[in-house]
Structure 1
Amino acid sequence: MKTIRKYGWMVIVIVALVSLPLVMFQHAEFAGTDDKAVSMVQGIDKNYKPWFEGVKLFDSPEIVSTFFALQAAIGASVLGYYIGYSRGKQQNKKA
């Protein structure tokens, strides 16, 4: 019964952490840091032109965000594998 309560509270906290920013900032504009940096510099110096453009393979924002999510998932998988492997290795040493 204790584990159900413990995990129930954890699920509630996780749902709150995910949904609260989405509710609070419904109409916020989310732009990349590259875009914001260029606009800040252009605010200071009107003649500023970026040195180069980033590689744009796809023009669709949906495809770009999908590849970003895929990159994050692959990175999280590699990190999770390494942590699990290291922990299993330590537990085998103790046994």
Structure 2
Amino acid sequence: MDKRHILMLLAVIIISVAPLIIYSGHGEDDGYFGGADDSAGDAITETGYKPWFQPLWEPPSGEIESLLFALQAAIGALIIGYVFGYYRGRGESSE
């Protein structure tokens, strides 16, 4: 292996392991890995905001919600991939 490859591999290992060492033993209960959505939701509810309406349907569990989000992302990726492929094929066929 080239020296540059070894250095890049070491950098990847260090970047991957450093958060595990820094945050070992800490979890979501300590405030780590909470995410911006939780912070924003808490900040909004502290102002006394009342929602204008309720959702028409809520997924029965977090797993279903994650599944629907992943499905939406996959459909979007398929559409974008199709459009890129279409225009690339169209450009190659005109030559």
**Shorter-chain TM-score above 0.5:** yes
TM-score, reference length from structure 1:
0.58
SS in 1 for 2:51: coil
| Higher RCO, Cα 8 Å, sep 6+ | 1
Alpha-carbon offset, residue 36 of structure 1: 4.4
How far does the alpha carbon of each residue in 1:39-77 deviate from its partner, in whole angstroms, 9 at most, with x for none?
Answer: 21232x2x3212123333322000110011011001100
Output the CA distance in 2 between the equivalents of 1:87 and 1:56.
Answer: 40
Which residue in 2 is equivalent to 1:62? Answer: 63
TM-score, reference length from structure 2:
0.58
Which residue in 2 is equivalent to 1:39? Answer: 42
Bigger CA radius of gyration: 2
Unaligned ranges ≥5, structure 2 = 28-32
Unaligned ranges ≥5, structure 1 = 1-8
Change (3 A) 1:72 1:30: same
Superposed CA RMSD in Å reads 3.1
Structure 1 residue runs of 4+, over 4 Å off?
none
Stretch deviating more after TM superposition (47-56 or 75-84): 47-56
Number of residue pairs matched by the alignment: 74
The answer to whether the 8 A contact 1:41-1:48 is kept is yes
Q: Which of 28, 31, 34 is residue 29 of structure 1 equivalent to?
A: 34
Output the CA distance in 2 between the equivalents of 1:59 and 1:29.
Answer: 22
Output the CA distance in 2 between the equivalents of 1:24 and 1:56.
Answer: 38
Q: Tell me the amino acid that sits aligned with residue 39 of structure 1.
A: D
Change (3 A) 1:59 1:31: farther
